[in-house]
Structure 1
Amino acid sequence: MSSGVQVVEYDSDWVRLFEQLRDFVHPVLSDIAIKIEHVGSTSVPGLAAKPIVDMDVIVSSQPDVQLAIQRLAELGYVHEGDLGATGREAFMPPLNVPWHHLYVCTVNNAEYKRHILFRDYLRSHAEDAKQYGDLKLELAKRFQNDRKAYTRAKSEFVNEILKRAGWR
């Protein structure tokens, strides 16, 4: 994966890609996954995004997180730890599937709740979603070789949306 920042206009194929990826992991997680959610910008119709699908696999308990780590390894996923988001485990996908971000966490994990709140707010507030997409396109040009600066620059907008959506 390149380290540059690329944001593109919305692509309805992202939904189909999520469904394919969900269907790929579901067989090994079906007895422990409460939900497999499409999150992040690719999950919001009309929103410009980095063309990388984000998925949250939700389980009920920490032992189920450990079980998911083992089972995803059988499919070729590489566990990367929590990458700084406590209680949310990240995975690098197998080489034979399209690049995506996969996370596993429990249903009460704060990062998961934040993902869903943000996604659902933008899905129901098209004007804010458009504003966010425009901001991301502009920031991707300005910070095309600095992913951290790109993320920092959009954080004020993200936090404002979360506040409007009721995040405390």
Structure 2
Amino acid sequence: MTDAESLQAAIHEEVALRAYDPHWPAMFEAERERLLALFPGDFIAIEHMGSTAVPGLAAKPVIDILGGVASMAAARALVAPLCAQGYTASAEFNATLVDRQWLMRWADGHRTHHLHLVVHGSPVWAQRLQFRDALRADAALAWHYAALKAELAAKYPADREAYTDAKAEFVRSVCEG
């Protein structure tokens, strides 16, 4: 699958939430170890983020990984080597991003992982982890987020961008709250 085809497939893939899978942390850990072995010294830290990182939370079954690097130049330099190791990326999409680079990993025709390369310690790094940690620490907050996600998945089943955009205010309110 070409990068352009993978981006189009990702954009048009159905928004389908799944019940929490206790295998998600192990899937993250396996990919974390693989990345650290393939690219020793390139990552400052690698964290599990997103809904699959919150025990009990329904999610799209894609493991979101936050890869902390020293600079955006380092992030951009990792894209091609990561693509040689099973990821795909859209150069056009990544060119629009100033604070991260985004890659996908596929298996059996479905996305399995998203890798977000960001500067370690940057506001993006801190916000992603703050949101994850808030959901892990507060069951009521996680429940509200789950309800919002279910509502939005029903409203935007074929529009992942609209689904993601519609969650942004909730995320912002948690991180600024």
Which bracket does the TM-score occupy, shorter chain normalised? 0.7 to 0.9
- TM-score of the pair, normalised by structure 1: 0.84
Change (3 A) 1:83 1:44: farther
The answer (yes or no) to whether the contact 2:72–2:100 under 8 Å persists in 1 is: no
Change (3 A) 1:151 1:77: closer
The alignment partner of 2:130 has SS state of helix
Residue 47 in structure 1 maps to residue 57 in structure 2 = yes
Partner residue, 1:100 = 113
Deviation by residue 1:27-68 (Cα, 9 ceiling, x = unmatched): 122212111110111111111111111001111234432442
Q: Which runs of 5+ in 1 are unaligned?
A: none
Deviation by residue 1:81-111 (Cα, 9 ceiling, x = unmatched): 4364423111132658962101212114332
Residue 150 in structure 1 maps to residue 163 in structure 2 = yes
Partner residue, 1:141 = 154
Q: Which amino acid aligns with 2:172?
A: N
- TM-score of the pair, normalised by structure 2: 0.80
Residue 29 in structure 1 maps to residue 39 in structure 2 = yes
The answer (yes or no) to whether the contact 2:62–2:113 under 8 Å persists in 1 is: yes
Segment drifting more, 39-48 vs 66-75:
66-75
Partner residue, 1:124 = 137
The answer (yes or no) to whether the contact 2:63–2:113 under 8 Å persists in 1 is: yes
Alignment size in residue pairs: 164
The answer (yes or no) to whether the contact 1:10–1:42 under 8 Å persists in 2 is: yes
The answer (yes or no) to whether the contact 1:47–1:129 under 8 Å persists in 2 is: yes
Partner residue, 1:19 = 29
Q: Which runs of 5+ in 2 are unaligned?
A: 1-8
Partner residue, 1:89 = 101
The alignment partner of 1:75 has SS state of coil
The answer (yes or no) to whether the contact 2:69–2:75 under 8 Å persists in 1 is: yes
Change (3 A) 1:149 1:79: closer
Q: Percent identity?
A: 34
Partner residue, 2:74 = 64
The alignment partner of 2:176 has SS state of helix
Change (3 A) 1:117 1:26: same
